[in-house]
């Protein structure tokens, strides 16, 4: 096991270099809605992976989807390549529109690296490269074939990537997700809630609010009552949350509103609750006479339930101990692509990326030391899983 410790030492000496690598990736802006930016990042990553001898495949998405390409980088060990693979998941897109970098440039200060997308999750992409370098330097290999799949649309629901993620997951013994860890210590994520969105659209009848109010049907009033109803579908004890987060409707104050619409965020901790919650939304009927109600949407990211990650987490803990580190686990209401793979029953461990804070905010940063620790942990997992 001296070898694993030597990996950690080797990486420690390269903390600054790995941090610079994160910087190079952050400085290629890659909003989900900017396919050209995402593709420039894919170019850069593809160069880096080819340097390391990976088989790199660019998977183009339908132009109409308005997303960048997926990147699939495969590393084969000399022996054992035919066994079930390990899938490592990450995403190249960020929530930041182009131009954010000019206001919040990449910078390193006091053991932290700041910049849009550092934590979520360009650090994860750099950690994967560093892990492979560390294995190589120690004369070690991954035990199995490893597929690194970098997707362009995780931050906007993974519509173009989902089928590809699931196809790779079905061939995999385990899935390792390089999303950031939880909190300042970067706890791993062994459970995530399922996530969905429902839309309620109400059509009423417009009328003058003063002249003939009796012939109107107020869509805003109808929607307000429906929202009060769906708010009661939440159940904190079962880990179900229901939040109407966007509403719109009406035109002006003297006109009885003809249209109103709400978008409702729904999260469930257990897969078994999906049909029940969905049925409750589908069963909604108009309350005001003459109002029409249309309900659409659903829960499209199933929950990642803890039991699927349990053994994998225990293995990661053993590896961490041998490296002289401690890791902890956590659960979160946020979804990731790990939700899809865990729902297939494939052991999935998430939150293996950097530790830091402020994801999706201007103050986003990583702790640079965590780059080293996580690269060592990933190297150890790839070598032993």
Position 26 contacts Zn ion (CB under 5 A): no
Position 191 contacts Zn ion (CB under 5 A): no
Position 337 contacts Zn ion (CB under 5 A): no
Position 121 contacts Zn ion (CB under 5 A): yes
Position 89 contacts Zn ion (CB under 5 A): no
> What's the closest the beta carbon of residue 54 comes to Zn ion, in angstroms?
22
Residue pair 376/8 in contact (Cβ under 8 Å)? The answer is yes
86 secondary structure, DSSP code: E
- Residue choice 34, 120, 153, 168 for contact with Zn ion (CB under 5 A): 120
Contacts of 352 (CB under 8 A, 6+ apart): 124, 127, 176, 177, 178, 179, 181, 188, 374, 377, 378, 381
Residue pair 123/112 in contact (Cβ under 8 Å)? The answer is no
Stretch binding Zn ion (CB under 5 A), from 13-21, 173-181, 277-285, 368-376:
173-181
Stretch binding Zn ion (CB under 5 A), from 24-32, 116-124, 318-326, 371-379:
116-124
> What's the closest the beta carbon of residue 118 comes to Zn ion, in angstroms?
12
- How would you classify the pairing of strands 194-203 and 348-349? unpaired
Choice between 179 and 305, CB closer to Zn ion: 179
Six token digits for residue 237: 């004890």
Buried b (16+ CB within 10 A) or exposed e, 29-42: bbbbbbbebbbbbb
Six token digits for residue 347: 């052991």
Measured distance CA(89)–CA(51) in Å, rounded: 20
> What's the closest the beta carbon of residue 175 comes to Zn ion, in angstroms?
15
Closest by Cα among 180, 123, 177 to 358:
180
Q: Which residue is nearest to Zn ion (CB)?
A: 120
Stretch binding Zn ion (CB under 5 A), from 35-43, 179-187, 343-351, 370-378:
179-187
Choice between 121 and 128, CB closer to Zn ion: 121
> What's the closest the beta carbon of residue 271 comes to Zn ion, in angstroms?
22
HSE-up (13 A, CA, CB side) for residue 156: 21
- Point out which residues bind Zn ion (CB under 5 A): 120-121, 179
């Amino acid at each position: 096991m001296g070898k694993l410790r030597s990996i950690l030492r080797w990486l420690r000496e390269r903390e600054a270099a790995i941090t610079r690598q994160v910087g190079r990736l952050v400085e290629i802006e890659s909003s989900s809605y900017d396919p050209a930016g995402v593709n420039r990042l894919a170019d850069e990553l593809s160069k880096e992976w080819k340097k390391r001898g990976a088989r790199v495949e660019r998977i183009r998405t339908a132009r109409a989807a308005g997303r960048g390409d997926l990147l699939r980088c495969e590393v084969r060990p000399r022996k054992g390549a035919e066994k079930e693979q390990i899938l490592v998941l990450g995403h190249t897109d960020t929530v930041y529109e182009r131009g954010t970098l000019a206001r919040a440039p990449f910078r390193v200060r006091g053991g932290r690296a700041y910049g849009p997308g550092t934590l979520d999750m360009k650090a994860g992409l750099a950690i994967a490269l560093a892990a492979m370098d560390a294995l190589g330097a120690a004369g070690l290999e991954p035990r199995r074939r490893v597929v690194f799949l970098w997707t362009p649309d995780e931050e906007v629901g993974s519509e173009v990537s989902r089928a590809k993620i699931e196809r790779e997951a079905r061939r995999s013994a385990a899935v390792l997700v390089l999303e950031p860890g939880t909190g300042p210590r970067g706890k791993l994520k062994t459970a995530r809630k399922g996530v969905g969105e429902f839309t309620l659209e109400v059509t009423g009848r417009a009328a003058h609010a003063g002249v003939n109010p009796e012939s109107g049907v107020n869509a805003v009033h109808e929607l307000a009552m429906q929202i009060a109803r769906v708010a009661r579908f939440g159940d904190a004890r079962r880990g179900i949350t229901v939040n109407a987060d966007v509403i719109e409707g009406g035109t002006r104050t003297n006109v009885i509103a003809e249209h109103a619409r709400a978008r409702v965020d729904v999260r469930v901790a257990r897969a078994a609750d999906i049909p029940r919650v969905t049925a409750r939304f589908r069963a909604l009927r108009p309350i005001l006479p003459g109002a029409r109600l249309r309900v659409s949407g659903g829960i499209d990211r199933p929950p990642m339930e803890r039991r699927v990650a349990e053994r994998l987490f225990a293995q990661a803990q053993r590896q961490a101990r041998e490296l002289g580190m401690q890791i902890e686990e956590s659960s979160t209401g946020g979804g990731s692509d790990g939700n899809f793979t865990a729902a297939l029953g494939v052991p999935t461990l998430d939150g293996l990326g950097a530790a830091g804070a402020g994801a999706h905010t201007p103050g986003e940063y990583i702790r640079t030391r965590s780059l080293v620790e996580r690269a060592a942990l990933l190297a150890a997992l790839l070598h032993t899983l």
